């Protein structure tokens, strides 16, 4: 399913640049896009946006014929990227993560302006 691919335009009323990217299930199990707030600095917001796009493209590639969705795990990673967190501690993988094919996404090394990366706890 297509996602928005345009560039960031202007900040919202609170001064934040925002991007709706990827799909998740809401409480009624309906597919909706997640809105990421990327900060008030345009250059940093564009950098974070690019990292989020790369992560989402990887999720789409790994989904294959299944619907690409943010799960709790990948959404937490994406939210941290959107906030500009340089090191993202991750909980250990569960058996369900391993059997669902999620291990293909881990380890994810995300190069940010503050350095690297996502780390496993």
Per-residue pLDDT in tens (0 to 9) along the chain, 121 residues: 444 456 788 899 999 999 999 999 999 999 999 999 999 999 999 999 999 999 999 999 989 899 999 988 889 899 999 999 888 776 666 666 655 655 455 444 444 444 444 444 3
Cα dihedral 59/60/63/68 (nearest 10): 90
pLDDT value for 93: 64
Instruction: Work out the angle at residue 19's Cα, subtended by the Cα atoms of residues 69 and 66, and round it to the nearest 5 degrees.
Output: 15
pLDDT value for 88: 78
Rounded Cα distance between 86 and 40, Å, is: 17
**pTM (predicted TM-score):** 0.72
What residues pair up with 32 in beta bridges, in sequence order?
24
Phi, psi of 65 (to 5 degrees): -80, -15
């Amino acid at each position: 399913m297509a996602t928005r691919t345009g560039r960031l335009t202007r900040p919202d009323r609170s001064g934040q640049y925002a991007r709706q990217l990827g799909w998740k299930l809401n409480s009624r199990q309906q597919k909706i896009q997640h809105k990421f707030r990327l900060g008030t600095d345009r250059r940093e917001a564009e950098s974070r946006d690019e990292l989020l796009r790369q992560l989402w493209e990887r999720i789409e590639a790994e989904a294959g014929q299944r619907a690409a969705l943010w799960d709790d795990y990948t959404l937490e990673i994406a939210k941290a990227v959107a906030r500009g967190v340089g090191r993202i501690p991750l909980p250990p993988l569960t058996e369900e993560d391993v059997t669902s094919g999620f291990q293909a996404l881990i380890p994810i090394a995300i190069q940010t302006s503050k350095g690297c990366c996502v780390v496993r706890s």
